[in-house]
Amino acid sequence: MARKQLIAGNWKMNGGLAANGLLIDAIEAGIGSPACEVAVCVPAPYLSQMADRLLGLPVMLGAQDISAFAQGAYTGEVSGAMLRDFDVCYAIVGHSERRQYHGEADAAVAAKAEAALAVGILPIVCVGETLAEREAGQTEAVVRRQLAAVAGRLGDRTGAIVLAYEPVWAIGTGKTATPQEAQAVHAALRAQLGETGGADAADKVRILYGGSMNAANAAQLLAQPDIDGGLIGGASLKAADFLAIVAAAH
């Protein structure tokens, strides 16, 4: 079991040409040779800027979404082939903000994961429960349903995805799952990968934690046996915080 941890920044709809340049300047100055894999998932208009800026840096480029379709009359969508033109390695799919504000259901998330793999992009598939679902004791049932939709479609290709457990109540709220709470869900997800994802999926798939991970709590979360990295929103917009999280990973 030698999974290399992945620290992926999710810039969401933040930044701009000038601000992105400054952020990458600071990351470049401090990143050194990280022990983990590092990525930044940037808004689509800045893929070109970041593809240029990340050349030679130990930071991979990611997108925040990907179309389920290969090409054609899908106004506003960005295809996997277009992302590949900018050396995109990762695409977030099924983020709770897209599920909530854009009506993305489990089937669409699964189709997007498949579209990513079809062009050699690794989908970072997000799952997570709302506060109401957690309080009703439904956490495992919810994330199980969300993962099952993807594993059902991908079958033995499930081992190629990255999974991200992002409790919705922890995203952008400053409330983090405790390392124990997160580890329990990660372990359940890994067991499910073993049941449904093909032979080596449980061993291979990196399960990231996301939801108010920051410089202060990263080390404890990343020390859990089934937490293989982080999907970082707010703290990825400050170079010092992002670099501190990278330094806490292995």
217 near ligand PGA, rule: CB under 6 A: no
To ligand PGA, the closest distance from the beta carbon of 75 in angstroms equals 26
At position 88, the amino acid (one-letter code) is V
Task: Considering the complex, state which of residue 122 and residue 213 has its C-beta at the smaller distance from ligand PGA.
Answer: 213
Q: Quick check: 127 and 209 in contact, CB under 8 A?
A: no
Task: Considering the complex, state which of residue 79 and residue 212 has its C-beta at the smaller distance from ligand PGA.
Answer: 212
d(CA 97, CA 89): 21
- Residue 153's φ and ψ, nearest 5 degrees, are -80, -40
Task: Considering the complex, state which of residue 152 and residue 172 has its C-beta at the smaller distance from ligand PGA.
Answer: 172
Q: Quick check: 115 and 80 in contact, CB under 8 A?
A: yes
Q: Quick check: 213 and 172 in contact, CB under 8 A?
A: no
To ligand PGA, the closest distance from the beta carbon of 162 in angstroms equals 13
DSSP string, 86-97: TTEEEEEES-HH
To ligand PGA, the closest distance from the beta carbon of 142 in angstroms equals 17
Binding mask 133-172 for ligand PGA (x = CB under 6 A): ---------------------------------x----xx
Q: Is 195 assigned a catalytic role?
A: no
Site for ligand PGA in 195-214 (CB under 6 A): 210-213
Q: Is 186 assigned a catalytic role?
A: no
Give the chain's radius of gyration (CA, Å): 17
Q: Quick check: 6 and 36 in contact, CB under 8 A?
A: yes
Task: Considering the complex, state which of residue 111 and residue 171 has its C-beta at the smaller distance from ligand PGA.
Answer: 171
Structural tokens at position 217: 């709590």
Contacts with ligand PGA by CB under 6 A lie at 10, 166, 171-172, 210-213, 231-235
- Enzyme catalytic residues: 95, 166
